[in-house]
Amino acid sequence: MGLSQPFMAASGDIEPHALTVLIPKSDYANLLLKSRLEIGGLLILLMFFGVVCCLFYTRRYFTPILEDIDHVTAAGGEAGNPFFEELLPLSDKLRVHERTITDLETERQDLRGQMEQAEADAKRLAQRRKSEIDPEEYQLFLSAYQKLGPEARTVIDAMVDGISVQVLAEQLGKKMSTVYSYRRDIYEKVGIQGENKLQQLRVRVSLMRREQTEYGGSSAPSNGENAGQAVNR
């Protein structure tokens, strides 16, 4: 057996020379057999390594999974429904949350009923208060209220909402005597006289707020006809 390779012996050669290496055919066959044996041995080693890895991961991971599946399936009874003991605490928590949600829904419905009842009571109270106010006096109150400045309206809201003079003075940055003076001026400007001035103011402001709500946030009626209709409705 031989291997030939053309080459140039010198730069002036016209034609290339041929270099041939010859070895016995038996030696070539032995080399070829040796190469094939080495490749076969490498493939066998790789296959052995793969089988060992498969067995290792099977015993390490897949076998416990299969055993757990058999366990939960057997615990499920004849129907074969899976039964996970580890999920029992979670199932108990879910049932507790479900009962809590049911209780909250019941409370929400109760609160809704209470709110509807409170709204109905407020409407009846507003209707009763309307009958206590003279339409002309109420119209004068609305006219005077619209002429008040923002600070005076703030004082009225605080009086109606039950905020003390001391707290209101701190909010406005005024002295308590100044706030008392504001209150006297307000009673005079809106035409409230006699006893229980604060109660009269609260009734009028409450009715005014109610009408503003009914009118979609707009100001209360300012003319005598609409005010009388609002009071006598």
Position with higher pLDDT, 65 vs 164: 164
Residue 103 has pLDDT above 80, yes or no: yes
Residue 93 has pLDDT above 90, yes or no: no
pTM, rounded to two decimals: 0.39
Q: Specify the pLDDT at position 219.
A: 46
Q: Specify the pLDDT at position 227.
A: 41
Residue 86 has pLDDT above 70, yes or no: no
Q: What is the pLDDT of residues 112-158, one digit of tens each?
A: 887 777 666 656 655 665 566 677 878 888 888 888 888 888 888 88
Q: Specify the pLDDT at position 42.
A: 93
Q: Specify the pLDDT at position 220.
A: 46
Residue 39 has pLDDT above 90, yes or no: yes
Q: What is the pLDDT of residues 203-224, one digit of tens each?
A: 888 888 887 777 655 444 444 4
Q: Specify the pLDDT at position 38.
A: 93
1-15, 122-136, 164-178, 193-207: which has the minimum mean pLDDT?
122-136
Two tokens, residue 191 = 């035409």
Q: Chain-wide mean pLDDT for the chain? A: 77
Residue 231 has pLDDT above 50, yes or no: no
